[in-house]
Amino acid sequence: MTAVGVLALQGGFEAHLHALARAGAQARDVRRVGHLAALDALVMPGGESTTLLNLMADEPWFDAIRAFHARGGSLFGTCAGAILLAREVRRPSQPSLGLLDVAAERNAYGRQVDSFETLLEAPALGGLVPGVFIRAPRLTDLGRSIEVLASRDGEPVLVRDGRVWAATFHPELTNDPRIHRAFVESVSRVRAA
Ligand code: GLN
């Protein structure tokens, strides 16, 4: 069975655990660096990326996640998690893992539209999928290797570069299982290869 961990230091990890289990993965919460060893994939949830960075300073999380990726692990960052994966973070700038060749602009939709739910164009996932945006970032300056899996008004909101996926929204907060299912299927394929 494909083992997918969810970084459980802060933020919305419970809903991801449910969504992953429903998608057929063995879902586990990840609270210590050592928990990564037994996983095929790691989901980095939404929350507050600066708070997450502070909590991640307690253990060598950056080194461990980069090593996890280098040894073939898959990653999926949603919202704050996507910000942590980016090559570069803007407004304001802050450290990031640099595992996804995009720039992430934090809180890009302004205060007026703090959170909203909308339908996204996702032809790769079979049509329109719902997405919940909460103080969401915007992904810009996409590298050539980035594949856009879903967009909103022409802007990329779900992207992937091989084993690394990122969503600027919260797929775990809707009842639509397609995004978690597609991720778990891709992890299973990597595992079988
Ligand atoms: N605005 C948050 C940040 O910049 C992300 C919000 C979220 O994860 N829902 O880290």
Q: Is the shortest distance between the CB of 16 and ligand 1 below 6 Å?
A: no
Residue 83 Cα: closest atom of ligand 1: 10
Distance between CA atoms of residues 36 and 65, nearest Å: 8
Region of residue 84 (phi > 0: left; psi between -120 and 50: alpha; otherwise: beta): alpha
| H or E stretch covering 15 | helix 13-22
Residue 50 Cα: closest atom of ligand 1: 10
Distance between CA atoms of residues 27 and 67, nearest Å: 21
CB atoms within 10 A of CB 63: 10
Q: What is the pLDDT of residues 110-139, one digit of tens each?
A: 765 688 999 999 999 999 999 999 999 999
What is the total count of domains within the chain? Answer: 1
CB atoms within 10 A of CB 5: 27
The residue assigned the tokens 């909308």 is: 118
Q: Is the shortest distance between the CB of 46 and ligand 1 below 6 Å?
A: yes
Tokens at 30, concatenated? 């990840």
CATH code of the domain in which 74 resides: 3.40.50.880
pLDDT-above-70 percentage for the chain: 98
* Average pLDDT estimate for 85-89: 98
Given ligand 1 and candidates 7, 13, 78, 106, which is best to mutate, with the most ligand atoms within 8 Å of its CB? 106
Omega before 92 within 30 of 0, i.e. cis:
yes
* Average pLDDT estimate for 148-157: 97
Which of the residues are catalytic? 79, 170, 172
Q: What is the largest CA-CA distance in the chain?
A: 46
Read off the pTM: 0.97
Predicted local distance difference test score (pLDDT) of residue 97:
98
Closest protein CA for atom 5 of ligand 1 = 80
* DSSP code at position 164: E
Distance between CA atoms of residues 105 and 169, nearest Å: 13
pLDDT-above-90 percentage for the chain: 92
Predicted local distance difference test score (pLDDT) of residue 152:
96
Distance of CA 18 from the midpoint of ligand 1 (Å):
21
Q: What is the pLDDT of residues 21-78, one digit of tens each?
A: 999 999 999 999 999 999 999 999 999 999 999 999 999 999 999 999 999 999 999 9
Q: Is the shortest distance between the CB of 191 and ligand 1 below 6 Å?
A: no
Residue 124 CA: distances (Å) to CA of 7, 8, 50, 120, 130: 27, 29, 32, 11, 14
Is residue 17's pLDDT more than 90? yes
Q: Residue 56's domain spans which residues?
A: 3-192
